[in-house]
Chains A and B, each alone.
Chain A
Amino acid sequence: MSDTHAHSVAFVRTETLPQAAAPSNAAGPTKWMRDNLFATPANGLLTIAAIYLIYLVLASTLPWMLNGVWNAGSLAECREILQGTSGACFAVLTERWPQLMFGFKYPASEYWRPTLAFVLMFVALAPVLFFDLPRKLLIVTALFPFVAFWLIWGGTVWTPIFALLGVIVGYLVYDRFVAQSFAAGFFGGIAAAIVVWTISGYIVPALAPEQPWLEAVPSRDMGGYMLNMMLGITCVSLSIPLGIILALGRQSSMPLIKWICVIFIEFIRGVPLITLLFVASVMLAYFFPPDQTVDLFLRVVIMITMFSAAYIAEVIRGGLAALPKGQYEAADSLGLDYAQAMRLIILPQALKISIPGIVNIAVGLFKDTTLVSVISMFDIIGMIRGPILASQDWNGLYWELFLFACLVFFVVCYGISQYSQWLERRLATDHR
């Protein structure tokens, strides 16, 4: 009965209606905007102010950038092409590209060498940065410094080969003795390597051909962004081992060693990098034997390495301190000696915790390599402020060059910090 009734009554609906869209102010972009941009009147004002700010910036820069000239020989030519309209003169970047990248003295026919080293760097860094890659790739990483050294500096191929040989011999000696005692292996390895290097110091000059395959380029001729990269990578990779040693030394129970490390770390951290660079440029020469000179690049590398090692040591110390005391006690209770405990239990965990901090230091250090322009080295800033802006062609041009410098640093530093955040997330899941 009721069935028929239901069928017969027109105003009773039997099937469900299709879902209606939410009201326009509770869904979609409107809702999003109401929640995120105009939640309160004050918030709305803030949004409008922000939009206005963005408009101001874009209105002044966009036409300038879009109207940019990419092909011209000088600023005057650029202005001629623009004919009074506002526009950037990016031609300076195309014309001076090699100088910005490699400095003004690196032989133009050899630009492929640093470029190749740069490409190889990614291959070498990949297994270090991403643990998922096959471990075999680490061999590339181990070989990279020698190959890069040879590519960039050129000269006889025997120098990097003997340097590598020293490392291999050192490693073999270490491998042979480490089972007995870590100290014996470690110091034995270093001693063996030094012996090989010293001998090679006599052999290499004899083997060196008159015309090496790759023309030798003195480090004084390096410049441009390449110099920033070289300083950054060399100093960071050198300062990590030094930083570990300093951090362990600072934690040491031996007062003398502890105090040496504390004084070193606090001294370096207490002074600005620029004073250390002054030391490198005007003082360090006095500390080497009178009849020897060490070239400026090496002196700067020494000082920047010391600088970043002190900071990295503090980061690693934080990592060591963050480990639960139980880890140290567990290592002791297993009967491990100091070297074993550190190598097998403590450092792997402490370093893992410290990686984000170390990456931050590395980014900071890479940015600080621009300071070498103050001591008359021609890194990218030195190139811009020196030869390029001083030249008759490009005198009076600022924004294009500085924007470019900003861009190259931003890309690298932002990339590294994004990597660091990714790593932090990954390591965090490993812990929980």
Chain B
Amino acid sequence: MSTTTDPQGGTFRLSMLMNDSRYRSLTLQAIAAILLAISIGYIISNLLANLAEQDLNISFGFLATPAGYDINQTLIEYTSQSSNTRAAFVGIINTLLVAILACITATVLGVIAGVLRLSNNWLVRKLMSFYVEIFRNIPVLIWIIIIFTIVTAVMPSAKSYLGEDPERGMLGGIIAFTNRGVYVPAPFFTNGFGGEEGSIANWLLVIVVLFGSLFATRAMTARANKIQEDTGIRPGTLWTNLAIWLVPVAVVLFILGLSWDFPDPLANRFNLRGGLQIGAPLIALWLALSVYTGAFIAENVRAGIQAVSKGQTEAASALGLRPRRTMSLVILPQALRVIIPPLISQYLNITKNSSLAIAVGYADITATLGGITLNQTGRAIECVLLLMLFYLTISLLISAVMNVYNSSMKLKER
């Protein structure tokens, strides 16, 4: 900082360790290193002493032993005889599932609410700011519990859908909203390859085909643009693109033999059987995270749009752009630069808040590894460490994405 005032050369005195800026930073770092080492050593020695006193040890052997408990909502095969590791994986997948679902709906909700907050309709504007304030200022845990209570206490009981002559019919005969979850028809393949286990591969095939269509339509659009630039006449792409999207997928689905598994009110006396069950805890968590985070995203969106100066809109109008094109070509690209970084950190918050699943009994990673496995094995230290490691990995991945995005944005700016 002030190197010029330091004496040059000269003999070394002990006081220079503190007073000479050449050595001071080294001294301070050495002190910090020693303090850090002492405190870590203190903690570890306490830990070891505590463990020794109780005759315990740190071991991850429990991960391989059978978990012994059942989980109600699993995307991968799991029985009570599966290992604790598999239970943890079930939890990881469930965490990711609810996080991704909530990210999508929160974004949609947030964008709608954010745009409507700037609407010139007074009532809608007020209604939206009411939504934002209500949800931002009440803890997400309360929202999760409230929505869970709504789902379990207000929705009709599963029983009322059961039997030959049920009290209430399913929506369109195929969808049932019960207090244990929503039952919807589940698609499956009758001619799929790979038997039972191959169903994921079948779906992957469908996704690959969809990606192929995506690239094909992009190529079509690029070609259309080129023709337009060369000749001034834009060839119609709507029908070809639609065909590219629909036909291959339809063909693949037909070959695989797509068919639907409907919820059956007769198979069981307690619950609907068949179809896809979206459990009440998942719904509660999903909805609560969506509306809660949606309120924050709405604020980000509003701030992002307002950050684009009014001159931009005026300039665009002066150039003769129509309002819609002004929005899509001028305002949004600039607003997105402001919106996306906080948006990504909201996604991070959703992932972290999904750990509140424990309050409604949704089997996410906190409930399996950090909950039941921890309780049953008593391996508190190991389980909590693994749990933190998982969340840390997810966060670092999302931060990495954010950094890449930020730096790419920066390049465009300068």
Contact = CB atoms under 8 A, between A and B. Distances in A.
Direct touch of chains A and B (CB < 8 A): yes
Of B50, B123, B381, the most chain A CB neighbours within 10 A belong to B123
B387 interface: yes
A47 interface: yes
Interface residues of B, number: 55
Interface string B39-62: 000010011011101000000000
Contact of B47 (A287, A370, A405): A287
Interface stretch (B136-144, B217-225, B235-243, B247-255): B136-144
Given A254-B28, A260-B36, A283-B384, A270 B134 contact: no
Given A274-B356, A402-B142, A283 B381 contact: yes
Nearest to A249: B32
Given A36-B122, A287-B43, A257 B142 contact: no
A257 B141 CA distance: 36
B1 A332 contact: yes
A51 B123 contact: yes
Given A381-B141, A410-B137, A413-B138, A257 B28 contact: yes
A367 B120 contact: no
Contacts of B119: 43, 46
B45 to A, nearest CB: 9
Nearest to B56: A286
Interface string A36-71: 110100010011001101100000000000000000
Nearest to B51: A286
A338 B387 CA distance: 40
A278 B149 contact: no
B170 interface: no
A270 B388 CA distance: 8
Interface residues of A, number: 59
B355 A274 contact: yes
Of A272, A337, A402, the most chain B CB neighbours within 10 A belong to A272
Task: Please report whether the interface of chain B is mostly helix, strand, loop or mixed according to DSSP.
Answer: helix
B127 interface: yes
A424 interface: no
Contact of B381 (A51, A286, A370, A398): A286
A116 interface: no
A57 B51 CA distance: 57
B353 interface: yes
Contacts of B141: 370-371, 373, 381
Contacts of B127: 50, 53-54
Interface in B22-37: 25, 28-29, 32-33, 36
Contacts of B380: 278, 282-283
A277 B49 CA distance: 23
A385 B33 CA distance: 46
A343 to B, nearest CB: 15
Contacts of A256: 29, 32-33
Of B47, B138, B356, B381, the most chain A CB neighbours within 10 A belong to B138
B122 A37 contact: yes
Given A290-B46, A373-B141, A398-B153, A271 B146 contact: no
A267 interface: yes
A280 to B, nearest CB: 10
A119 B276 CA distance: 54
Given A254-B29, A275-B370, A287-B43, A410 B134 contact: yes
A272 B353 contact: yes
Contacts of A287: 43, 46-47
Contacts of A271: 352, 388, 391-392, 395
A414 B133 contact: yes
A50 B28 contact: no
B124 interface: yes
A134 interface: no
B145 interface: yes
A256 B29 CA distance: 6
B142 A50 contact: no
A332 B2 contact: yes
A260 B31 CA distance: 13
Interface string A307-344: 00000000000000000000000001001011000000
A363 interface: yes
Given A405-B142, A413-B137, A37 B29 contact: no
A130 interface: no
A253 interface: yes
A427 interface: no
Contacts of A270: 391-392, 394-396, 399
Nearest to B120: A39
Given A278-B384, A370-B142, A50 B123 contact: yes
B201 interface: no
Contacts of B328: none
A296 B359 CA distance: 20
Contacts of B391: 270-272, 275
Contacts of B136: 413, 417
Contact of A338 (B1, B121, B366, B374): B1
A272 B352 contact: yes
B258 to A, nearest CB: 36
Nearest to A47: B123
Closest 10 CB pairs of A and B: A270-B395, A36-B122, A413-B137, A272-B352, A367-B139, A282-B380, A272-B355, A270-B392, A256-B29, A370-B139
27 contacts: A36-B121, A36-B122, A39-B120, A43-B119, A47-B123, A47-B124, A50-B127, A270-B399, A271-B352, A272-B353, A273-B352, A275-B366, A275-B370, A275-B388, A278-B387, A282-B384, A286-B51, A290-B50, A290-B53, A332-B1, A370-B139, A371-B141, A371-B356, A374-B356, A374-B359, A402-B146, A402-B149
Given A266-B395, A278-B380, A282-B380, 6 more contacts: A260-B36, A275-B388, A283-B380, A337-B2, A367-B137, A410-B137
